[in-house]
Amino acid sequence: MLFNSNARINCSTMQLDCVLVYTFVVTVATKNFRKCNRQQPDWNECVFDATQHGLAELTRPYEEINIPNLNPYEVKEVTLSAGTGTSFSVNQVYKNCEMYGLIGAKLKKMRFDFEKGTLDLRGVFPKITITCDYEMTGKILLVPVSGKGTSNVTFKNVNSTSLLRFEELKKKGKTYLRFVSNELVMVPELVTFNYDNLFNGDKVLSDNTNNVLNENWHAVYDDSKHEFTEVANKIFLELLNNFFSKVSMEEACQYQMDGQVLFLPIRGEGPSTIVLENLKADCLLGYEEVKRDDKTHIRFVSSKLDIDPSLMSFEFENLFDASNFKKCDRQQPDLKKCVLEAAQDGVSQLTKPFPKLNLPSLDPIEVKEMLVTSAGRTKNFAVDQHYKNCQVFGLNKGEIYKFEFDFEKRTLDAGATFPEIVMNCDYSFKGQVLLVPINGEGRSSIRLRNSNSTGLLEYEEVKRRRRTYPKFVSIKLRSKPELVSFNFENLFNGDKAMSDNANKMLNDNWQELYEDVEADYKKVVEEILLALLNNFFAKVSLEEAFD
């Protein structure tokens, strides 16, 4: 059997006119946003993660799906009428407003209920800043106030809860959501105000008024929070409805696959594209005649279909768990930043293995055996070292500050700092340290603290089935720790005094000793890095890693 797979494809459109054409579509407009399958058991968790990821993407507009730039989000004009409150009864007109901080929202909850037609959304905005041209007239704490100029209102640590209600609309066979109401509550930890040019530029009165506003911000916000919330509500509903007027629920669909291809196990879930070229179809339809009101109607009861494409091509994204890792678009202007964030996010996830991607856990990473010979050594550390059953901790805690692909030169330039790398092994060695004979066998621990590492990697491109896979062939690694400490148990056959003295001598002279063995230690790390990257990119092509 050449292709034996249980597959459920949820994205399909069909047209029948004795020629049947199947087209499976992944919407290009939404490629920057993660998609979720409504049938998966953790669908709400997937939507939560997709929304948090999507917010970070909105540093530029997506005109094809009616989504503007959110950093800043621009509001042409807002009019707030004087309320009945005693603290802040002011008629306000704001123009040319820019809102910063919306993309910084930290979601706490996002849950759709399609039976009730609701979306429960909760989160925190660390900081929202609104700058505008303003005009105002009215009373603040019973004091008349007027002004015209520029304003800055900043909300800090805003807890936001929303219960949105939506309707499902059918258009051309697809389902779109239309949000019709929102019960929004916003509770800031602090609000600060700054209005330039109050009282026609009288600086003393203007400064005093701003001080009064900020000292009494809680009362001022309570009097005007209804108006602020109403504006936020309109913005929120507009953003959601703009998006869901362009993107149907079907366009967020994904494939599910579990079976085998060419006798090899295969499993995945994500967007898919299947293309049939030069499709010929023979269709034999069986029908029966139905008489109604002296008229003859045809009812089709069977069909026999034979299709014959000249070529059939498949593209399944996120096979072998690639969906766990952030993707970047090579054409996006901030590609370097995106790749850096994706690398940091990917490394932090490696606290568990990803067998389908050939990626082990980095917490710890296991090294079966390492040999360091004394050949060519200086007098500082002329020791034959044999390490087994090693566990290396701390690689997943690295802070990556550089991770840049050069697709023309086929290089990867990377840099990271590691607060602490710990290597625990079974060891045996024999030789001399600073002309002092030393031998031993037992457990060892080597710690490298605040290690700054840079690497320039070169790769070749390997083509397989229309995909491009990088194969890393070399690495130039530099690593400079701030401190290295050694602890070798059972030196000198368990003589504690001699063992303690030897460890002290090693640690007192760690810099000279490290320089002697640095090349061998780097070689081990280089082999680990090359193996990790090549394991990953043997499964994930550049086309899958970069949109």
Are residues 341 and 230 located together in one domain of the fold? no
Are residues 131 and 221 located together in one domain of the fold? yes
Are residues 262 and 338 located together in one domain of the fold? no
Residue 500 confidence (pLDDT) above 80? yes
* Within a domain: 307: yes
Residue 239 confidence (pLDDT) above 70? yes
Residue 531 confidence (pLDDT) above 60? yes
Check: CB of residue 486 under 8 Å from CB of residue 501. no
* Within a domain: 325: no
Compute φ and ψ for 90, nearest 5 degrees.
-135, 135
Are residues 375 and 478 located together in one domain of the fold? yes
Residue 3 confidence (pLDDT) above 50? no
Check: CB of residue 184 under 8 Å from CB of residue 227. no
**CATH code of the domain in which 115 resides:** 3.15.10.30
Are residues 207 and 235 located together in one domain of the fold? yes
Check: CB of residue 392 under 8 Å from CB of residue 425. no
pLDDT for residue 252: 52
* Structure token pair of residue 339: 């790749």
* Within a domain: 40: yes
Angle of CA points 304, 309, 313, to nearest 5°: 125
Each residue's pLDDT tens digit, 481-496: 999 999 999 888 888 8
Of 286, 316, 346, the last residue of a domain is 316
pTM here is 0.42
Angle of CA points 481, 487, 490, to nearest 5°: 160
* Within a domain: 17: yes
Are residues 335 and 421 located together in one domain of the fold? yes
Split into its structural domains, the chain has a count of: 3
* Structure token pair of residue 259: 């079976």
Task: List the domain range (segments joined by +) for residue 403.
Answer: 330-545
pLDDT for residue 5: 29
Are residues 108 and 40 located together in one domain of the fold? yes
Confidence class for position 24, pLDDT limits 50, 70, 90 = very low
- Which of 103-131 are b and which e, b meaning 16 or more Cβ less than 10 Å from the residue's Cβ? bebeeeebebeeeeebbebebebeebebb
* Within a domain: 137: yes
- Size of the chain in residues: 547
Looking from the CA of 229 toward its CB, the CA atoms found within 13 Å total: 19
pLDDT for residue 15: 27
| Cα–chain center distance at 289 | 58
pLDDT for residue 14: 26
d(CA 426, CA 326): 37
d(CA 242, CA 231): 16
Each residue's pLDDT tens digit, 324-355: 567 777 778 888 888 888 888 877 777 777 77
* Within a domain: 404: yes
* Within a domain: 323: no
d(CA 61, CA 57): 9
* Within a domain: 99: yes
Are residues 312 and 200 located together in one domain of the fold? no
Are residues 217 and 338 located together in one domain of the fold? no
Are residues 203 and 62 located together in one domain of the fold? yes
Of 213, 230, 251, the last residue of a domain is 251
Are residues 52 and 169 located together in one domain of the fold? yes
Are residues 141 and 289 located together in one domain of the fold? no
d(CA 365, CA 544): 26
Q: Give CA separation, 481 vs 420, 454, 484, 524, 525, in Å.
A: 9, 12, 7, 16, 14
Range scoring the smallest mean pLDDT among 259-263, 409-413, 462-466, 484-488: 259-263
* Structure token pair of residue 281: 């179809």
